[in-house]
Amino acid sequence: MEALRIESTHKTPRVILDPENGIFEFSGRSIPEDSVGFYTPIFAWLEEYSKQPLPVTHVRFDLEYFNTSSSKNILEVLKRLEAIHAAGHEVRVTWYYDEDDEDMEETGQDYQALLNLPIELSVKVQS
Amino acid sequence: MVATESELLHEPALSYAYPLYRNMLDNSVVFIYNGPITPDLIVDVLNLVEYRLEDSREDRRISKKLFNIMVESFTIGDDVERGGAVLLVRQLPYLYAVSVGRRVRGDSVYAIKSFIDWVNTCSSEELRDAYHHLLQGKATHSIPPHIGGVPSISILDLARKSHDFLHYNFEYLDDFESFFSLEARIRKNNS
Amino acid sequence: MSMTYSYYKNMQLNNIIFVYQGEVTADLVSSILQMVENKLEGEGEDRKVKKRVFNVMVECLQNVYHHLDALPPTDPSNPVRDKTALLMIGREEKDYYIITGNHVLNDRIPELKSRLDRINRATKEELKQLYQEVLTGTGFSEKGTAGLGMIDIARKSGQRLGYDFHPVNDRYSFFSLEARVSRIPEK
């Protein structure tokens, strides 16, 4: 299976889904023109990956800001990861937030509460 | 001397400049935008505000919150075809206020008003629960996803992030439309 | 009437797209330019018109940015006590317009007026000549490049400059300068 790589723009995140090493990344901003259009290929890819996932998948969310329409799509991404996890293939999600960004921390907590998936909240190291 | 047509056309905006400046200064308004809202515009506006905050050496916690609130506020002005939306940011010594204004159907005024009134009575736990339901696409609390074209989740999100009452106003335009404005505030001393 | 609605009404009435009030710094100027550039781009405006609006805007913002330095911000009669200005951009059916506003000392008004009137009376050719005179230090004289900016705006705009002095107090007035750019592309 081929990796999915989407480079970031000033309004959409960088997405890396690497099936070889089981390392996924979502970073940057997410306020796309058409959030369903942006996330649909990602859902399709995850659907495919869920058929033969690695024993452990590491997922890194490192987002700067996003709107609620992206929040719904991120929840969908996480739900697909939850299904992989429930099928016995470990998925470890790390949700990074800036220590000054209490809203991003709260969003991480929202996802923790809504899903049966280990989501670790982690303060981003300042560059 | 008789004014030429072009001079007459020049006049309104030019003579409005000082009253507008004075009014903005008195209300601590930093900028006002009127037109369609696109993600590109949001990014550009955030950039502008970022420089302004740097110049006023704002605390990063407050800046982050202001950004998050702006991103969501502007979503409310999305999808407005006629007249576009209005965005404005006010910077006072003790608070920031982000406002969005747009036309809504006159027959949805009552529903929007009741929803915001309800949101303003909610505790943070109630807000969180309602937000979670909407995020999952569940129709409980009898909250539809949109009320008069306004995404209800955005209003809940703003209420959660601002930790303050949402301020709103409706202005009657005609039998079909009203002008809806919503202001979310960020107080510098409590969040 | 709510504040947001009254702004909306006035902005619609005057075809204003964007207005900024506050301190003007180099970073701020560049972020405003970026926004306007993207906006013109997004709306599919003619390439030449786009470029002209952008160039005029750059000059207007530069002009107000440099102009502000001439003001003593700590002067007790300065109505705002800091370097705040107004920037406004509008789009009408035929023109874009850019208005900048800032406080000026009343005793500078006659000189500013006479410069603006001279610029507005000048033909395209005369403007070019005036520009070169100021550049070489023979025209407008004493105040350095302040006059150069306005000549440049007039040349790039291709239309007469609009201006207004609104009295504020004994020492200061609010000076608004308007530059227009036609939306009808030149042949």
Do B72 and A67 contact (CB within 8 A), yes or no? yes
Q: Range of B54's domain?
A: 29-187
Which residues from chain A sit within 8 angstroms of residue B65, using beta carbons? 101-103
Q: What are C117's two structure tokens?
A: 């009137």
Q: Is B21 inside any structural domain?
A: no
Flag whether pLDDT at C187 surpasses 60.
no
Check CB contact under 8 Å for B67 and A65.
Answer: yes
pLDDT in tens, C50-103: 899 999 998 998 888 776 655 555 566 556 555 689 999 999 999 999 999 998
Question: Of C42, C176, C178, which is closest to B40 when you measure between CB atoms?
Answer: C42
Rounded Cα distance between C114 and C127, Å, is 15
Check CB contact under 8 Å for C86 and B17.
Answer: yes
Q: Is B124 inside any structural domain?
A: yes
Number of CB atoms found within 10 A of residue A85's CB: 20
Number of CB atoms found within 10 A of residue B16's CB: 22
pLDDT at residue B170 in the model? 97
Flag whether pLDDT at C186 surpasses 80.
no
Mean pLDDT of C45-52: 89
pLDDT at residue C75 in the model? 61
Check CB contact under 8 Å for C88 and B51.
Answer: no
Rounded Cα distance between A27 and A43, Å, is 17
Q: Show pLDDT as tens, one digit a residue, over chain B (191 residues).
A: 344 444 444 457 898 999 999 999 999 999 999 999 988 899 999 999 999 888 888 899 999 999 999 999 988 887 777 778 999 999 999 999 999 999 999 999 999 999 999 999 999 999 999 999 999 987 665 788 889 889 999 999 999 999 999 999 999 999 999 999 999 999 997 54
pLDDT at residue A127 in the model? 60
Q: Compute the Cα dihedral for C116, C117, C121, C127 and give only its sign.
A: negative
Does domain A4-123 fall under CATH 3.30.70? My reply is: no
Do B169 and B181 contact (CB within 8 A), yes or no? yes
Q: Is B112 inside any structural domain?
A: yes
The CATH number of C3-182 is 3.30.565.10
Total domain count, chain B? 1
In percent, the amount of chain C with pLDDT more than 70 equals: 84
Nearest to B70 by CA among B93, B53, B94: B53
Q: Where are the domains of chain A?
A: 4-123
With CA atoms as reference, the chain C residue closest to B24 would be C21
Flag whether pLDDT at C29 surpasses 60.
yes
Distance from CA of C32 to the nearest CA of B (A): 7
With a cut of 70, which residues of chain A have pLDDT below it?
126-127
| A110: Cβ contacts below 8 Å, ≥ 6 apart | B128, B131, B132, B135
Which of C10, C14, C16, C21 should one mutate to test binding to chain B, selecting the residue with the greatest count of B CBs within 10 A?
C21
Do B173 and B179 contact (CB within 8 A), yes or no? yes
- Within 13 Å, how many C-alpha atoms sit on residue B8's CB side? 5
- Flag whether residue B88 sits within 8 Å of chain A, measured between CB atoms: no
Number of CB atoms found within 10 A of residue C165's CB: 16
Q: Is B8 inside any structural domain?
A: no
In terms of pTM, does the model score above 0.90? no
pLDDT at residue C149 in the model? 86
Question: Of B15, B44, B101, which is closest to C164 when you measure between CB atoms?
Answer: B15
Q: Is B133 inside any structural domain?
A: yes
pLDDT at residue C39 in the model? 87
CATH code: domain of residue B61 = 3.30.565
H-state helical runs in C18-108? 26-42, 47-69
HEC secondary structure over B27-81:
CCEEEEEEECCCHHHHHHHHHHHHHHHHHCCCCHHHHHHHHHHHHHHHHHCCCCC
Flag whether pLDDT at C142 surpasses 70.
no
HEC secondary structure over C78-104:
CCCCCCEEEEEEEECCCEEEEEEEEEE
